[in-house]
């Protein structure tokens, strides 16, 4: 005789555990920022300490802090004003923000440094392969993306620029005609379109960044057309390394004003 209350029937399973959500380190940092805002009785419109100072006091990398700030931007807690600083936009309940961060499932996303590292390892070789296999149609697509990026630079349209940037990198992968490369690399490239990355890049992209990025992309296509594998490799690595460096651009730039100037 079995215990009548212990069995749900042959082959059935009882859900005994709750799902565990993965957590970004930056989520913990975001929660700490909320705690400090409340503890210090900071008001809406008040300016927070500079990024560098905040990262040092919390003993975290600038990249981790930047992700935490972007999360709180998306939650409507912080507002980032380029070259001016980080400001408090609202004062929500700490538990509400914590739940929002959990519901947003940021832990399922790939952090920026990991994704760019993977791209540096893969994309230079992919560009060399694509230069060998590209068809006239592929070259036409690459040219069209370069022109779309040029137009976006002229108008200062960051979202249009980033969309064409993303499409160009995917077009290079597609030009290899290698299904394994395409299946592995396209999802990695698309991490750049994650909402968290978008929030970060909106804070750091300006006219100068757009011009520099555009020139890097133009040089990639030019190198691919030349067929010189060394130049292709260097052009792609240079661009991706520059992209990695741009994620560390200061949100707030301290300027010393000389009253007698």
Distance CA 69, CA 79 (A): 9
Ramachandran angles phi, psi of 136, nearest 5°: -55, -40
What confidence score (pLDDT) does residue 253 get? 45
Q: What is the pLDDT of residue 10?
A: 53
- Look at the chain and count its residues: 261
* Mean pLDDT of all residues in 125-148: 98
pLDDT for 246 beyond 50: yes
- In this predicted model, what pLDDT tens digit does every residue of 98-110 receive, in sequence order? 777 666 556 555 5
For 112-246, CATH number out of 3.30.565.10, 1.20.120.530, 1.10.8.190, 3.40.50.1220 equals 1.20.120.530
Q: Residue 180 and residue 74: Cα distance in Å, rounded? A: 35
Helical residues (DSSP H) of the chain, grouped into ranges = 25-39, 51-58, 62-74, 94-104, 112-133, 136-155, 158-174, 179-189, 195-204, 207-226, 229-246
Q: Which CATH class is domain 25-108?
A: mainly alpha
User: What residues does each domain of the chain span?
Assistant: 25-108, 112-246
DSSP string of 61-77?
Answer: -HHHHHHHHHHHHHTTS
Q: What is the pTM of this model?
A: 0.68
Phi and psi angles of residue 148, each rounded to the nearest 5 degrees, phi first: -65, -40
CA distance 26 to 111: 10
Tokens 């230069």 appear where? 131
Tell me the mean pLDDT in the region 225-242: 97
């Amino acid at each position: 005789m079995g215990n009548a209350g212990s069995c749900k029937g042959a082959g059935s399973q009882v859900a005994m555990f709750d799902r565990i959500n993965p957590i970004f380190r930056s989520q913990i940092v975001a929660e700490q920022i909320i705690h400090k805002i409340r503890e210090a009785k900071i008001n809406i419109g008040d300016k927070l300490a500079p990024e560098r100072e905040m990262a040092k006091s919390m003993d975290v990398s600038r990249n981790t802090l930047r992700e935490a700030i972007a999360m709180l931007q998306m939650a409507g807690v912080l507002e980032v004003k380029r070259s001016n600083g980080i400001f408090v936009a609202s004062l929500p309940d700490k538990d509400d923000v914590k739940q929002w961060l959990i519901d947003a499932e940021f832990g399922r996303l790939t952090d920026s440094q990991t994704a760019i590292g993977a791209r540096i390892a893969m994309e230079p070789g992919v560009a060399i392969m694509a230069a060998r296999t590209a068809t006239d149609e592929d070259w036409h697509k690459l040219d069209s993306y370069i022109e779309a990026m040029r137009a976006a630079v002229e108008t200062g349209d960051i979202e249009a620029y980033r969309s064409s940037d993303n499409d160009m990198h995917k077009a290079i992968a597609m030009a290899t005609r290698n299904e394994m490369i395409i299946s592995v690399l396209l999802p990695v490239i698309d991490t750049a379109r994650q909402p968290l990355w978008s929030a970060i890049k909106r804070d750091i992209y300006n006219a100068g960044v757009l011009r520099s990025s555009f020139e890097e992309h133009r040089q990639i296509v030019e190198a691919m057309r030349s067929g010189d594998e060394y130049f292709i490799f260097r052009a792609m690595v240079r661009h991706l390394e520059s992209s990695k460096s741009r994620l560390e651009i200061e949100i707030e730039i301290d300027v010393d004003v000389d009253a007698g100037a």
